[in-house]
Amino acid sequence: MRSSREWNFAGRLVNRLGKDSDLIDAATGQRFPAADVPGLIVGFGAGFLSIGLRPGDRVLISCGLNPASTLAYLGAMYAGCVPVLVDERTLAASGDLVFAKAHAKAAWTAKGVRWDWARKNGFPQIEGNFDPCPVHLLRPSPCAENDLAALMPTSGSTGVPRLVMVSHGNLIANTEAIIRSQQLGTDEKAMLIMPVSYCFGASIMHTHLYQGGGVVFDSRFMFPDKVLQAINTYGCTTFAGVPTVYNILLRRSHLQSIALPGLRRFLQAGGVLAPEIVQEMRNIVPTANFFVMYGQTEATARISCLPPDRLDEKLGSAGAPLNNLTTRIVNDKGQELPNGQTGEIQVRGPSVCGGYLDEPEATQRKFDHGWLKTGDLGSRDEEGCLWIKGRTGEFIKIRGFRVSFAEVEAKVAAIPGVYECAAAGAHHSEAGEALTLFIVGENGDHALVERVRHALPPHWTCISVKVVAELPRTANGKIARSQLQILV
């Protein structure tokens, strides 16, 4: 039986770091050598405790594409605090709401970044790095398997993200299962272009460090060739991305002329990638294996994986569940369906999380006696491989990030001149999915449409805004989404 200290995920990770566990910022060239990384993580833990935080206290971690975010996150967990991972953009816009929702005691950010909301509300803000601390001077905080390790954001029905309660046992189980599924070695180095506030990004960081490898962070994907060159410069063995990333690599980079001899694998999750794109990537970089994966934040990260040696026969599938998870397909009555029939995908196992913080009704809707109701429609073949067909939930994934229709509709309806709004999703060649909006509003269609477009956040890709006389509704007054496309 493991001792209470051994369940501390960050403590286990620190003990498993190896000679290749460098943390590198490709954009600036800053490098934290492997020999220093354990002391830096422990130093953050000691630093958080030195300012008065205690095990169990929650601290917001501002997550950018840099090593400091990872050090702060792991250090807080090592000390027994509960890191609340939030991307920099969300914290700048609504950090006070997230702070209150999480019942946080402090917020950490990179040096030189100050938030007006923290100053106005008197919330403690911690800036920059702490001094390194020898590992033997601070042991990882004792914890149990089911103790809360982190709060991970996922989209809710408002502008404030839901916070998924991830335990130490969840992290250990999912990380070890992912390592097995990808056959990660001890000399790996990941190219990470996603912040660790996104469960996909966090899982890449977790698995590579846990296995004794390293991570390169690069915030320059708007210039994809720079990232490709950095893969070679720093000897990266893994590259991960959501569908839009691979679309951009194929259409806006010089992937065909930049050889990647050291790259061992491409990892893809965060939405469905067209089979022809997978095949095109394999043709251009045949020396790197391509892993198709499927996951959700509520399952810590990954749920299934299609290994590269099954791509030819299973192209289009999201693969089989990780070897410590069980899946089933159910109909709208909760009855399990046989192989080949389409229903909701549900998953059970040690990486399924405990629910949403302070949202019992949402938790009850999503989790059912150990089963996670993914909200995704799919089928399962005779070998257990999943085939994703669509979504039951009212959200889409834009560039790998989940956006709820309710959130979009609330924001658009608040724009002057808009009376009502209904949102739908559509395929997009780069973003994977994009919004189509139907609005009821005042006269002056063109001006109103332009006003709506200018009000949308830049990361909400929108391909159409149409002014209509009225919105289709069901008998109980809700928007009839299945009828929206009739309005096009």
> Does pLDDT of 475 surpass 70?
no
2: confidence class by pLDDT, cuts 50, 70, 90: low
The Cα–Cα gap between 50 and 214 comes to 28
> Please, which contacts does 100-104 make with residues 24 or more away whose CB atoms are closer than 8 Å?
101/160, 101/163, 101/357, 101/358, 102/58, 102/60, 102/151, 102/163, 102/357, 103/58, 104/57, 104/58, 104/59, 104/60
> Does pLDDT of 157 surpass 50?
no
163: confidence class by pLDDT, cuts 50, 70, 90: very high
Residue 247 tokens, joined: 């679309």
Average pLDDT over residues 378-390: 91
Q: What angle do CA 288, 294, 300 make, to 5 degrees?
A: 110
Helices (H) and strands (E) counted in the chain, each on its own, are: 14, 25
> Does pLDDT of 235 surpass 60?
yes
Give the pLDDT of residue 393: 66
> Does pLDDT of 5 surpass 50?
yes
Give the pLDDT of residue 154: 87
Handedness of CA 170, 297, 390, 289 (dihedral sign): negative
Which residue, 377, 144, 342, is CA-closest to 272?
377
Average pLDDT over residues 148-177: 88
CB hemisphere CA count around 388 (13 angstroms): 28
* Range with the poorest average pLDDT among 157-166, 221-230, 314-323, 372-381: 157-166
Segment 46-70, tens digit of pLDDT: 999 999 999 999 999 999 999 999 9
Q: Please give the residue that has the higher pLDDT: either 488 or 124.
A: 124
Give the pLDDT of residue 91: 87
Handedness of CA 92, 170, 240, 79 (dihedral sign): positive
> Does pLDDT of 373 surpass 60?
yes
Residue 153 tokens, joined: 């954001």
Q: What mean pLDDT, rounded, does the chain reach?
A: 91
* Range with the poorest average pLDDT among 101-115, 139-153, 393-407: 393-407
Give the pLDDT of residue 155: 61
Segment 442-460, tens digit of pLDDT: 766 788 899 999 999 888 9
Which residue, 238, 183, 241, 175, is CA-closest to 400?
241
Please give the radius of gyration of the chain, using alpha carbons only, rounded to the nearest integer. Answer: 22
Segment 65-91, tens digit of pLDDT: 999 999 999 999 999 999 999 988 888
